[in-house]
Amino acid sequence: MKKLNYIILITAAVMAFSCTREAELQETQTQTQTQTGELVTIRVSTPEAIETKVSLTEAGDKKAMNLAWENTDQLSVNGGLFSVTNVISDHEAEFEGPTPEGSTFTVIYPGSYASADAFNARSYAAQTQSGNSSTAHLEYNAMLSGVTAYAEPKFDPTWATDNGGSLVQNGAIQLRLQLPEGTSTATSVKLVASRAVFPTTNAGGETATTQTLSLSSITLPSNRILEAYMMFSAAGVAWQAGDKLTVTVDTPEGMCYRTLPEMTAQTWTGGSQYTIQCKVNANNFVINNADDLEEFRDGVNSGDFLWQSCSVSLGADIDCSGIASWTPIGNGTFEPVESGTVSATMNGPAFKGIFNGNNHAINNLVMTASPDTYAPYGLFGILYKATVKNLTLGAVSADTGALTATPVGRMDAGALAGVAYGSTIQDVTNYFPMTIPDNTSANRVAMGMVGYVYGDDESGKSVLSGLKNYGAVNATQSGSNTGNGATSVQVAGIAGFGNSGGASIINQISGCTNYANIETSTGRSAGVLATANTRTEINGCFNRGKINNSYTNARVGGITVIIAGSCTITDCINYGNVSATESGSNVGGIVCLVNHASAVVSGSGNEGVVEGFKYVGGIASRIYAGEITTCVNTGDVT
């Protein structure tokens, strides 16, 4: 055993037919081959001294280990599946399967992979462990390939070499990580290398910088040691001198990590076990002033995954009056697909951690830009699987902070964030006014506290809860964009556009209130969410501001302009006056258009004055398809 700083390397310790201490145990197998038609019977035995045929560690509880042959065990020979026909004893069984063809053989145990191609294609992209210290998720597949003699298929390198073949096996990494105090569970563990070193399949070739193990049902013991097991490719991992390896653990409290000392030149070989044992520290960063805020922003935008995934908190109110020009935190690009269930395309930096304002404020932050197409703009550009909570933007008075965004292409802008992608935003209050002074874009534009609310199967849903907007909203639609549909300029107090790229992903906007007046000349404007495009729930939200739109053929709603496929409005109330002053306008006290058979408005009401020119309704102005139940209007409709 050789100890290398935090990394303990144990060579040739795992997997093969008798998995632990293969060479020392000297496993013997006997094969008797009888031909009955096209069937072959292989008799396999292991000495009783060998207490396990497949295991990772020598567990104290031997009953917890897989000690005996079972009638579900299988072998594969040249793609033919051999199943147990007779369990003679715990250490002896007979397998039966089709006669292999040819003079070279590929033998796989366990036989869940029917061919060498299937074994070589085995992906390491998604691994999951359920329970601390559990090894149930491990699939140890030993493969003999190129064997020239069909006799005694022992699963050991010597026999394979003697017969002109080779033994191929997965490797395993045991992680023993002590987490920080106050941590009781973990959700994932990642190995992150400074360059792409982890083969993604047993075939080798393509490599990645990161291997991830998702964790579920993890309860840490009192010493807070997380014990996790991760497979790696049979192709092995070739480290160069100076390579760096970082271990990260995601917990509900945030990410913690440890970067290990630089690696020496070494190879982690398939068929072996390697142990990484270290403490991991909380990855926390406290922002106490504007310089700290910019340092955090620059760290995220550098692409450093530790900055992007860290837990951040405000230690005080932050005065940003000295920041002359603002670049968003997470200044990558985001290109959604606004119909169907196709995921968005995201490139470049995004914030992926936890930002806790601790009920402090960011003051006097002037955000002025003409963002490039697909470049979200705001305090944050892109939030991806992130959490932002307990934060105030601006103040009731004497604050110079504001968002002013002029679209030149497709734009998503928000005082808090341009895009919330599979993210959670809780208890955030905004006083910054939000303005689109002009628009030279022919493309869709969205603005609110959050510009675009999005979720898909990769990221999960986005959740906005407890948001309050006091910042006045002003927007102008001009140039070549003359529409009032999904490609129009659409603004609201809380969010501009809600959409999902996953068939079962429902974004949620709940307990949010707009108090600000919204004065626009745009295709769409609303109090809470301008457009609920697909799979978005609006629940328990209120508009208390006045909404006025002076655009020809405008569409206006007290809560939202449109609800479409799998969208709902529940228990929402509009108190503000909602009006459109130009011809062709559609205005609804709650919603302008109910646009899909699966769209539902229930338990909601309007108390504000509703005024428009073409289609006007106290609850809804137009219903193409959908359902409205138990809603009440008490406001005047003109």
pLDDT digits (tens, 9 = 90+) for 91-138: 778 888 888 888 888 888 777 677 788 888 989 988 999 999 998 888
CA angle 338-342-344, nearest 5°? 70
Q: What is the pLDDT of residue 147?
A: 83
pLDDT band at 250 (very low <50, low <70, confident <90, very high): very high
Cα 375 to Cα 328: distance, rounded to the nearest angstrom: 10
For the domain with range 172-280, which CATH number is right: 3.40.630.10, 2.60.40.2630, 2.60.120.10, 1.20.1250.20?
2.60.40.2630
* pLDDT at res. 36: 41
Of 13-22, 137-146, 592-601, least confident by mean pLDDT is 13-22
**Per-residue confidence at 33, pLDDT binned at 50, 70, 90?**
very low
583 — phi, psi (to 5°)? -65, 155
At 467-485, the pLDDT tens digits run: 999 999 999 998 788 889 9
Query: For 297-314, what is the mean pLDDT?
Result: 95
Task: Return the DSSP state at 457.
Answer: T
Cα separation, 141 vs 115, whole angstroms: 12
Bond preceding residue 110 cis, omega within 30 of 0? yes
Percent of the chain past pLDDT 70, that is, above it, reads 89
The two tokens of residue 98 are: 């089709």
Q: Is 320-330+365-633 in CATH node 2.160.20?
A: yes
> Is-contact 547 587, C-beta < 8 A?
no
pLDDT reading at 62 higher than 60: no
Could you tell me the pLDDT band of residue 153, with boundaries at 50, 70 and 90?
low
C-beta separation of 451 from 414 below 8 A: yes
pLDDT digits (tens, 9 = 90+) for 529-573: 999 999 999 999 999 999 999 999 999 999 999 999 999 999 999
User: Using 50, 70 and 90 to split pLDDT, how confident is the model at 52?
Assistant: very low
Higher pLDDT, 98 or 618: 618
Token pair, residue 446, equals: 């969205």
How far apart are alpha carbons 480 and 566 in whole angstroms? 31
Lowest mean per-residue pLDDT among 94-103, 172-181, 383-392, 508-517: 94-103
So where are the chain's domains? 14-122+137-162, 172-280, 283-319, 320-330+365-633
C-beta of residue 606 within 8 angstroms of C-beta of residue 574: yes
Q: Is 371 helix (H, G, I), strand (E, B) or coil?
A: coil
Contact by Cβ (8 Å): 512, 569: no
Q: Is 260 exposed, middle or buried (0-12, 13-18, 19+ CB in 10 A)?
A: middle
Q: Does the pLDDT value for residue 324 go beyond 90? A: yes
Residue 333 has pLDDT above 50, yes or no: yes
193-223 b/e (C-beta count within 10 Å ≥ 16 → b): beeebbbbbbbeeebeeebbbebeebebeee
- Residue 177 contacts residue 280 (beta carbons within 8 Å): yes
Q: Is 149 a residue whose pLDDT tops 80?
A: no
pLDDT digits (tens, 9 = 90+) for 278-288: 999 999 999 99
Q: For residue 139, is pLDDT > 90?
A: no
82-86, 224-228, 406-410, 468-472: range with lowest mean pLDDT: 82-86
Q: Which residues contact 58 (CB under 8 A, 6 or more apart)?
A: 20
Report how far apart, in Å, the C-alpha atoms of 397 and of each of 180, 367, 470 are.
Answer: 41, 18, 11
Taking only the tens place, the pLDDT of each residue in 483-516 is 899 999 999 999 999 999 999 999 999 999 999 9
